[in-house]
A and B are shown apart, each in its own frame.
Chain A
């Protein structure tokens, strides 16, 4: 490591945070998100439009000369923290990060500009659970058309264009209209999955799939830690607030030492996660020490986010088990995130390789 990573938030990043938080306060209140999960349209496309169109956030990773904002992973990480804090059902991670990173590895500047502007939503047709170094399914490329079925593709239901890896090693762009997209009943209500079926769909060859998919998944894994930070921070903050109000045995339950200690431990985990997530975002932005920073952040983040959501539920007790209270949205997202882009165990295995702590 030549220089120390910048682990703080700049003033501009804090300003971006408040702008996103204000927008989500207007669009993504908890009762609205819960009601939407049971409708035909779980995604909040109005919020997406406001983020992408109104604020130009879909193009943060795209250089200005390619129609984007020319920002870095550091700013994207701040946006994802706020989206995690609100469990916002928008295809930001999947389109503005994953599909965009895949396109950045190709020459498809027209598609890139469309995604950056928010005019179209993209989805990389790789199952959500695949780790940056993991094997992924491909479809068959035959006689100029694509055939096959891919499962567990996050946010595919709202995608306009699918980026599909095929058995010839190519990455193809397929119009959603040419594919059959079937929503899957998903654990995470706010980032639903879908199957993508291609029956002789026309595809446009964008370039090699392998480097594009690797780049997309690495970036996703690293930045997911910031979403997990946002989730965990919400769970901690909301639980502390509630336990100061909630009274049993004639006192606020937050005054019981057993509960205070659990919350203090959780605070420590969130503080640690913030450092790990900032480090991964900064590494992705500078290109230094990327693989280890991402693997460390993901090996640490998932258990913390799940623990935070689980503690929030247990410490809210009865009300936390209800459909009406939003904790379940956070628990479902945190648990799904613990599988997304590789489990903590998969990332620990990557750490083992990177720092030469070999398995027996």
Chain B
């Protein structure tokens, strides 16, 4: 059993062999991966030691104290949070060896080719086609809401491999090379003025069968691993008291007494309390996970996060009065990092509108809570036994 003391010992060894001050950043990250200290709950040889996930904090604290470089996790969130757990669970040994190390070090950025213009909440209805030709699959279609597509080396992709069976059964999961000449990435401008997402047009892209993840026709099940991890990533951030969206609003309130009104005061206090309670719920969820009693509470975290972000940022725009009528900058940009609490209140207000859409709409998540947590009857389905090609569209 690898315990905290053992991890501290191994971390000290790594730091002694590769002093951060004199070691190249990438060399250090590779050495950390090879020492099993990248994500300690992963298996040995794949960046981990098969240790409890909760012990990662021990390693991270030691490395941070020593001034070691990190892998800039915010820049490679899709790889770390979605591609990696899916590859770990369904990948062949060869795929795991090839992809996980450069994914974790950030040498290779990943993006996610899931949503399509015609397949949003009903993702399983997707129409991007993959047709087998010899040892390859030839892929054609269009994906949307793809962050980092213009930076990505690889993509996780789901495509339709059999249109003649019901929609969930005819999907296959692939690892797609974003440098293929058939990939065209176009920025998708949002209501904030910037383009943090892209549209991706896929024309005769050839993917070797060796880059299929999981069985043919099993892509929907494989994708569940990706999507479940996405919701954990979106709702599961650990915040300090008065962290997140409430922080700038509270700061403005304290620094600008001339903006205060009784109505805004009541609403701000209510949102402050809601934020604090939401933080406690996230902390309770974390404690349940550490204690090995994962509860269904995680399903609700993203719902709360979306509502709070929207209400708080909306309140802050109102609080700012005349300044609330202004906007910092409508220039079209392609930001590498997205910071929901960055920029002005107006930006935060507009950007947070996406929080109740991305990663599962609030309406779909409420269905999920009602059906899977409360056990209420499922929505009536008219699509379950219909071949994909015969669905209404």
A177 interface hit (Cβ, 8 Å): no
From B265, B287, B288, contact of A360 by CB (8 A): B265
Query: Which stretch, A123-131, A272-280, A323-331, touches the partner chain B?
Result: A272-280
Tell me, in angstroms, the Cα distance from A1 to B241 when the chains sit together. Answer: 9
What 1/0 flags go to B246-281 for Cβ under 8 Å of A? 000010011001001110011011101110111011
Across the interface, do B284 and A267 meet the contact criterion of CB distance under 8 Å? no
A264 interface hit (Cβ, 8 Å): yes
Across the interface, do B376 and A8 meet the contact criterion of CB distance under 8 Å? no
Q: Which residues of B contact A355 (CB under 8 A)?
A: 242, 250, 272
Q: Which residues of B contact A255 (CB under 8 A)?
A: 376-380
Across the interface, do A254 and B284 meet the contact criterion of CB distance under 8 Å? no
What 1/0 flags go to B166-204 for Cβ under 8 Å of A? 000000000000000000000000000000000000000
Q: Which residues of A contact B378 (CB under 8 A)?
A: 255
Given A7-B280, A275-B284 in contact, is the A357-B367 Cβ separation under 8 Å?
A: no
Query: Which stretch, B58-66, B115-123, B296-304, touches the partner chain A?
Result: B296-304
Name the distance in Å between B208's Cβ and chain A's nearest Cβ: 43
B57 interface hit (Cβ, 8 Å): no
Across the interface, do B304 and A272 meet the contact criterion of CB distance under 8 Å? yes
Given A356-B254, A360-B260 in contact, is the A274-B284 Cβ separation under 8 Å?
A: yes
Tell me, in angstroms, the Cα distance from A279 to B284 when the chains sit together. Answer: 9
- Output the residue of B250, B274, B276, B375 with the most chain A CB within 10 A: B276
Name the distance in Å between B29's Cβ and chain A's nearest Cβ: 30
B215 interface hit (Cβ, 8 Å): no
Contacts A7-B280, A255-B379, A300-B277 known; list 4 others, CB within 8 Å. Answer: A260-B376, A264-B370, A273-B277, A357-B265
Tell me, in angstroms, the Cα distance from A278 to B297 when the chains sit together. Answer: 15
Given A357-B250, A359-B262 in contact, is the A268-B304 Cβ separation under 8 Å?
A: yes
Interface size of A by CB at 8 A reads 44
Tell me, in angstroms, the Cα distance from A160 to B332 when the chains sit together. Answer: 75
Across the interface, do B300 and A268 meet the contact criterion of CB distance under 8 Å? yes
From B257, B281, B303, B373, contact of A275 by CB (8 A): B281
A252 interface hit (Cβ, 8 Å): yes
Q: Which residues of B contact A257 (CB under 8 A)?
A: 367, 379
Name the distance in Å between A148's Cβ and chain B's nearest Cβ: 36
A228-281 interface (Cβ within 8 A of B): 240, 243-244, 251-252, 254-255, 257, 259-261, 263-265, 267-268, 271-276, 278-279
* B-to-A contact residues, CB < 8 Å: 241-242, 250, 253-254, 257, 260-262, 265-266, 268-270, 272-274, 276-278, 280-281, 283-284, 287-288, 291, 293, 297, 300, 303-304, 363, 366-367, 369-371, 373-380
Q: From B265, which residue of chain A is reached at the shortest CB distance?
A: A359
From B262, B266, B283, B380, contact of A7 by CB (8 A): B283
Across the interface, do B374 and A8 meet the contact criterion of CB distance under 8 Å? no
Q: From A352, which residue of chain B is reached at the shortest CB distance?
A: B269
Across the interface, do B266 and A6 meet the contact criterion of CB distance under 8 Å? no
Across the interface, do B370 and A348 meet the contact criterion of CB distance under 8 Å? no
Across the interface, do A357 and B375 meet the contact criterion of CB distance under 8 Å? no
Name the distance in Å between B343's Cβ and chain A's nearest Cβ: 23
Across the interface, do B370 and A261 meet the contact criterion of CB distance under 8 Å? yes
Q: Which residues of A contact B266 (CB under 8 A)?
A: 345, 348
A296 interface hit (Cβ, 8 Å): yes
Across the interface, do B277 and A360 meet the contact criterion of CB distance under 8 Å? no
What are 16 pairs between A and B in contact, CB < 8 Å? A5-B283, A7-B283, A8-B284, A8-B287, A8-B288, A8-B291, A252-B376, A261-B367, A265-B366, A267-B369, A268-B369, A278-B280, A299-B270, A345-B266, A351-B273, A360-B257
A39 interface hit (Cβ, 8 Å): no
Q: Which residues of B contact A243 (CB under 8 A)?
A: 376
Tell me, in angstroms, the Cα distance from A251 to B378 when the chains sit together. Answer: 11
Tell me, in angstroms, the Cα distance from A275 to B276 when the chains sit together. Answer: 10
Q: Which residues of B contact A272 (CB under 8 A)?
A: 274, 277-278, 280-281, 304
* A-to-B contact residues, CB < 8 Å: 1, 4-8, 240, 243-244, 251-252, 254-255, 257, 259-261, 263-265, 267-268, 271-276, 278-279, 296, 299-300, 345, 348-349, 351-352, 355-360
Q: From A255, which residue of chain B is reached at the shortest CB distance?
A: B377
Q: Which residues of A contact B257 (CB under 8 A)?
A: 358, 360
Tell me, in angstroms, the Cα distance from A355 to B250 when the chains sit together. Answer: 10
Q: Which residues of A contact B363 (CB under 8 A)?
A: 261
Given A4-B283, A264-B366, A264-B370 in contact, is the A348-B277 Cβ separation under 8 Å?
A: no
Tell me, in angstroms, the Cα distance from A278 to B268 when the chains sit together. Answer: 24
Q: Which residues of A contact B291 (CB under 8 A)?
A: 8
Across the interface, do A357 and B261 meet the contact criterion of CB distance under 8 Å? no
From A263, A276, A352, A358, contact of B277 by CB (8 A): A276
Q: Which residues of A contact B300 (CB under 8 A)?
A: 267-268, 271
Given A268-B304, A352-B269 in contact, is the A360-B261 Cβ separation under 8 Å?
A: yes
Tell me, in angstroms, the Cα distance from A264 to B293 when the chains sit together. Answer: 21
Q: Which residues of B contact A261 (CB under 8 A)?
A: 363, 366-367, 370
Name the distance in Å between A301's Cβ and chain B's nearest Cβ: 9
- Output the residue of A240, A275, A299, A351 with the most chain B CB within 10 A: A275
Q: Which residues of B contact A359 (CB under 8 A)?
A: 260, 262, 265
Q: Which residues of A contact B242 (CB under 8 A)?
A: 355
Across the interface, do B366 and A260 meet the contact criterion of CB distance under 8 Å? yes
Q: From A298, which residue of chain B is reached at the shortest CB distance?
A: B273
Across the interface, do A360 and B254 meet the contact criterion of CB distance under 8 Å? no
Q: From B282, which residue of chain A is reached at the shortest CB distance?
A: A275
- Output the residue of B253, B274, B376, B378 with the most chain A CB within 10 A: B376
Across the interface, do A240 and B374 meet the contact criterion of CB distance under 8 Å? yes
Name the distance in Å between A133's Cβ and chain B's nearest Cβ: 16
Q: From A279, which residue of chain B is reached at the shortest CB distance?
A: B280
